[in-house]
Chains A and B, each alone.
Chain A
Amino acid sequence: MNWTNILNFSRGPLLHVAMIIFVAGLSFRLVRVLLLGWARDRAKNKGSKLWGVIVNYLKGLFVLPFIPWVRRTFRHNELTFIAGGLFHLSLFLVLVFGTAHILVWKSLWGFGWKGLPTPILAFFSAVGIISMIVLLINRLTHPVLKMLTKFPVWINWLVVFLPMITGFIMARHLWFRYEVIFSLHLISVSLLLIWIPFGRISHFLFYFFSKTIHGAQAGKRAVTP
């Protein structure tokens, strides 16, 4: 076994199986939640559901992140809020505007787009990694959080951190031969994909779900979400 073969295996069958589990598992999770059903909303329609949804997203993405102090979560723990926010921002930029990742999207959907310059990506992946370390230290030292953090949460952290750190090392060509770190990146990505349907990282799916429902409910009542 040599690293070229390991890379071909991780780019091939391993990633394939991981994607299969990811797609089938997430569909399963989503249906399970949908079929739980929710209480009939008997309020009369006074406004626009669509408008409520739009306002809810705009506020969540473009307003609240910049005036975080109005939020209880922020006042509760500024550090978690800022580090968490920076982590998600970095993750988004790297996954959507990193050239290597754009090629993955292109292979799935048939079209690509322009990436960000590498130095900017490098900056954000570093920010993402540091934020994750801050979040970890916070969890390890905060007396209440530590108690709340159960085993699966540590796994959540690990399976996200590993692709971040291996990706960063690979893109900077540090320490490892490229095919070695590339294989490690793909093995950790596969791990993440396999873990997502079983753990709480699937929140990225349910986020849109809850944001939409809440927006619609508020819109119906003609109140600002």
Chain B
Amino acid sequence: MKEKTIYEHLREKGLSRRDFMKLCGTIAGMMGLEFVPPVKALGKTLGPSPEEVVAQALKTRPKVPIIWLEFQDCAGCSEAISRSSSPLLSNLVLNDIAIEYHETLMAAAGFQAEKAKEECMKKYFGKYVLVVEGSPTLDDDGIYCTVAGKSNLDLLKEAAAGAAAVIATGNCACFGGIPAARPNPTRAVGVADLIKDKPVVNIPGCPAIPEVTTGTILHFLILGQLPETDQLKRPLPFYGHTVHDHCLRRPFYEAGKFAGSFDDEGARKGYCLYRLGCKGPTTYNACAGLKWERGLSYPVQSGHPCLGCSEPHFWDGGGFYQGQSTPIIRLDRGSTATLVGVGVAAGAALAGLNAVKKSRAKKDLRKDQSGAPGSEPGSKKEG
């Protein structure tokens, strides 16, 4: 029997045609289809609208199975998806595109769950999408994170072998995240550091914005390929701009109006949070554009400086509440005093040396002039 397409599946579940087209529009918007080149790749630049591209894909493509692995993490990214307030999208991804294996969300547990995963990996070999949440760890062959008796390294390699594409969600899976914060006790790394032979895309964030993860999964589903990415493998439609680029406090930044504390006049007036440690200028994420909770707000809007959660090693980039321009390693009073001491000592030593040399030279001069070596009391003969 031919595999059911997503459209057939959705109709069976009672979605009307009208709702279906609306959904396609939403998806097209979510994927940022209007401004990414892959539409051109389909040869459909002039033809159908983005919704129609989506509709056509959903009508012809079968469900894409997803295997979702969790390594060293807090499950916050899964939490964000399962509680995201775009129920349409997360439902679509979780149920209708089909997540076959997700330890935290699936009903099955134990051996049953492991068996389901193995069957899925076999059945859909070369077709499924592997989503990784949490950082793999290298130290001692990965024994610091094991599931069902297997180290996370083995689990990752095994699952990646049959994947059509790998999506790392959250800063941990992308760059090591919090487990990789200094001193990185388990030697946590990003998925892309380990998986080199498959297309990998990074959706960093802490947590990743759920709509961005689902949007990227949908992108793969609809266009059959991962979106274009930047140097850090982050999809450009979502990570093409900094939080600062689209920040609603930006006019205050331009005017040089900054909140000096969390409860001063400036903070009440909505001034820029740069002085309070905002990392928005160097943080590429969709927060300010897409916002959270269906466009309700995002951290900077709510009054908190951006932590830079979608950038590598944001945990070690200086204090969260310390301005971005401050040196990461501070020269404290003690070490400053030591350095001054070293400089002074070196200067004094050199001066002393010079003085000795000078007095010797003087003496020698006098000796030469008097022509009587050793005539001075206490002077030593030199060899």
Query: Chain A: residues with CB nearer than 8 A to chain B?
Result: 2-5, 7-8, 11-13, 15-16, 19-20, 23-32, 35-36, 99-101, 103-104, 106-108, 112, 114-121, 178-179, 182
Instruction: Using CB atoms, name the residue of chain B closest to A15.
Output: B327
CA distance A107 to B231 in the complex (A): 32
Contact status B275-A24, CB under 8 Å = no
Q: Measured between C-beta atoms, what is the minimum distance from A98 to chain B in Å?
A: 9
Q: Measured between C-beta atoms, what is the minimum distance from A30 to chain B in Å?
A: 7
Contact partner of B343 among A5, A7, A24, CB < 8 A?
Answer: A24
Contact status A119-B325, CB under 8 Å = no
Contact status A23-B232, CB under 8 Å = no
Instruction: Using CB atoms, name the residue of chain A closest to B352.
Output: A35
CA distance A99 to B244 in the complex (A): 16
CA distance A118 to B252 in the complex (A): 10
Contact with A along B100-143 (1 / 0, CB 8 A): 00000000000000000000000000000000000000000000
CA distance A28 to B231 in the complex (A): 44
Known interface pairs A31-B351, A117-B256, A118-B254; A15-B329 also in contact (CB < 8 Å): yes
Contact partner of B313 among A4, A30, A101, CB < 8 A?
Answer: A4
CA distance A24 to B260 in the complex (A): 33
Verify if B15 is at the interface (C-beta below 8 Å from A): no
Contact status B325-A23, CB under 8 Å = no
Verify if B32 is at the interface (C-beta below 8 Å from A): no
Instruction: Tell me which residues across on chain A come within 8 A of B257, comparing CB atoms.
Output: 117
Instruction: Tell me which residues across on chain A come within 8 A of B258, comparing CB atoms.
Output: 99, 115
Contact status A31-B347, CB under 8 Å = yes
Known interface pairs A32-B350, A104-B327, A182-B282; A24-B342 also in contact (CB < 8 Å): yes
Interface residues of B in 251-278 (CB under 8 A from A): 253-258, 260, 274-275
Contact partner of A11 among B242, B253, B318, B343, CB < 8 A?
Answer: B318
CA distance A8 to B242 in the complex (A): 17
Known interface pairs A16-B327, A24-B340; A2-B347 also in contact (CB < 8 Å): no
Contact partner of A119 among B255, B311, B322, CB < 8 A?
Answer: B255
Known interface pairs A11-B318, A23-B339; A2-B330 also in contact (CB < 8 Å): no
Known: A28-B344, A103-B325, A182-B282. 4 other contacts (CB 8 A): A29-B343, A31-B346, A100-B324, A100-B325
Contact status A12-B343, CB under 8 Å = no
Instruction: Tell me which residues across on chain B come within 8 A of A8, comparing CB atoms.
Output: 313, 316-317, 328
CA distance A65 to B102 in the complex (A): 73
Known interface pairs A2-B312, A32-B350; A121-B325 also in contact (CB < 8 Å): no
A-B pairs, 5 with minimum CB distance: A27-B343, A31-B347, A103-B323, A118-B256, A100-B325
Query: Chain B: residues with CB nearer than 8 A to chain A?
Result: 231-232, 242, 244, 253-258, 260, 274-275, 281-282, 311-313, 316-318, 322-331, 335-336, 339-344, 346-348, 350-351
* Interface residues of chain A: helix, strand, loop or mixed (majority): helix
Instruction: Tell me which residues across on chain A come within 8 A of B312, comparing CB atoms.
Output: 2, 4-5
CA distance A7 to B339 in the complex (A): 25
Q: Measured between C-beta atoms, what is the minimum distance from B245 to chain A in Å?
A: 8
Instruction: Tell me which residues across on chain B come within 8 A of A25, comparing CB atoms.
Output: 343
Known interface pairs A20-B339, A117-B256; A101-B325 also in contact (CB < 8 Å): yes
CA distance A24 to B336 in the complex (A): 8
Instruction: Using CB atoms, name the residue of chain A closest to B277.
Output: A103
Instruction: Using CB atoms, name the residue of chain A closest to B346.
Output: A28
Contact partner of B339 among A4, A24, A30, A117, CB < 8 A?
Answer: A24
Contact status B326-A103, CB under 8 Å = yes
Contact status A106-B313, CB under 8 Å = no
Known interface pairs A11-B318, A23-B336; A28-B343 also in contact (CB < 8 Å): yes
Instruction: Using CB atoms, name the residue of chain B closest to A197.
Output: B343
Contact status A35-B339, CB under 8 Å = no
Q: Measured between C-beta atoms, what is the minimum distance from B199 to chain A in Å?
A: 19
Contact partner of B347 among A11, A35, A115, CB < 8 A?
Answer: A35
Q: Measured between C-beta atoms, what is the minimum distance from B256 to chain A in Å?
A: 4
Instruction: Using CB atoms, name the residue of chain A closest to B282.
Output: A179
CA distance A112 to B282 in the complex (A): 23
Max chain B Cβ within 10 angstroms of own Cβ: one of A19, A107, A121: A107
CA distance A96 to B257 in the complex (A): 16
CA distance A24 to B343 in the complex (A): 4
Contact status B328-A23, CB under 8 Å = no
Known interface pairs A7-B282, A20-B339, A121-B256; A2-B232 also in contact (CB < 8 Å): yes
Instruction: Tell me which residues across on chain B come within 8 A of A106, comparing CB atoms.
Output: 323, 326
Q: Measured between C-beta atoms, what is the minimum distance from A184 to chain B in Å?
A: 13
Instruction: Using CB atoms, name the residue of chain A closest to B332.
Output: A108
Known interface pairs A27-B347, A119-B255; A4-B327 also in contact (CB < 8 Å): no
Instruction: Tell me which residues across on chain B come within 8 A of A112, comparing CB atoms.
Output: 260, 275
Instruction: Tell me which residues across on chain A come within 8 A of B231, comparing CB atoms.
Output: 2-3
Contact partner of A4 among B232, B326, B329, CB < 8 A?
Answer: B232
Q: Measured between C-beta atoms, what is the minimum distance from B154 to chain A in Å?
A: 29
Instruction: Tell me which residues across on chain A come within 8 A of B326, comparing CB atoms.
Output: 103-104, 106-107
Instruction: Tell me which residues across on chain B come within 8 A of A108, comparing CB atoms.
Output: 330-331
Instruction: Using CB atoms, name the residue of chain A closest to B254.
Output: A118
Contact status A16-B329, CB under 8 Å = yes
Known interface pairs A99-B274, A115-B258; A19-B327 also in contact (CB < 8 Å): yes
Contact status B311-A118, CB under 8 Å = no
Contact status A27-B340, CB under 8 Å = yes
Contact status B331-A115, CB under 8 Å = no
Instruction: Tell me which residues across on chain A come within 8 A of B260, comparing CB atoms.
Output: 112, 114
CA distance A7 to B343 in the complex (A): 29
